A = this chain, B = another copy of it.
Amino acid sequence: MLGVLGGMGPMAGAAFALRLAALTPVGRDQEHIPTLLLNDPRIPDRSMARVAGGEDPLPYMRAGIEFLNDSGADLIAIPCNTAHLWYDELAQAANCPVLHIIEAVVADLRRQGLTSGRIGLMGTAATLALGLYQRTLERYGYECILPADDEVESLCMASIRAVKANQREASLEPALDCVQRLRARGAQAVVLGCTELPLAIPHALRSGLGVVVTDSIDALALAVIAFYQEHGGLPGAIKANGQLPQELAAA
């Protein structure tokens, strides 16, 4: 059973479970991946802890991992980018493998044909300031383009806060503006590197943006599916050319 440490935020946790179901190549209910989603939003804010001296979320996240251990999880996914600032501690607390969302995004970039080049990053101020993506992307040979500090606040964080406050309509414009600015500066792909951002920009709009978009929710879901396929737990397969079958890509 897949264990999901969600709640960061709860919309993103639920959207992850939904996209996991939508992207899994199945013919009926019983072929899906059994999943336990702990969608507990009481975990203190990850960004506030790292950039503003807020309460430490680690004890809460660790308690969540222990709950998933006790519930029989054989793989854990954490649909929150900023939480991966504590990845080592969380992986150590787990009794099973914990997927890394940044590695999942790199796999998705490669799946979409980008093995090098300039990648625009969007995410929380903490994720960007602490280099969570930059270290990994540079190790794989990518070059990172970041929004300016004021853009992180007025575009990325504004969009993320709107999603967290259930103001989905208000979340779209700042997120799109940021994608377009990163594209104008030469980004060949833009990473929606906070799990609220895929909720701000609906899938249907993305093909018209003129730039590859990689979505950290979908990337993590595809990493889960790939894991179970490699371990014999799923009948289907993502097509060898890296494309999803047509009917799944539209989901």
Contacts and interface: CB of A to CB of B under 8 A. Distances in A.
A184 B16 CA distance: 38
A147 interface: no
A1 interface: yes
Interface in A206-251: 247-248, 250-251
Given A34-B42, A35-B40, A37-B39, A166 B17 contact: no
A28 interface: yes
Interface residues of A, number: 50
B18 A164 contact: no
B32 A41 contact: yes
Contact of A38 (B7, B13, B36, B40): B36
Nearest to A248: B166
Interface stretch (A19-27, A97-105, A138-146): A19-27
A166 B247 contact: yes
B39 A34 contact: yes
B18 A247 contact: no
B14 A29 contact: no
B42 A30 contact: yes
Interface string A39-68: 111111100000000000000000000010
Interface of A: 1, 7-11, 13-15, 17-18, 20-22, 24-45, 67, 71, 161, 164-170, 247-248, 250-251
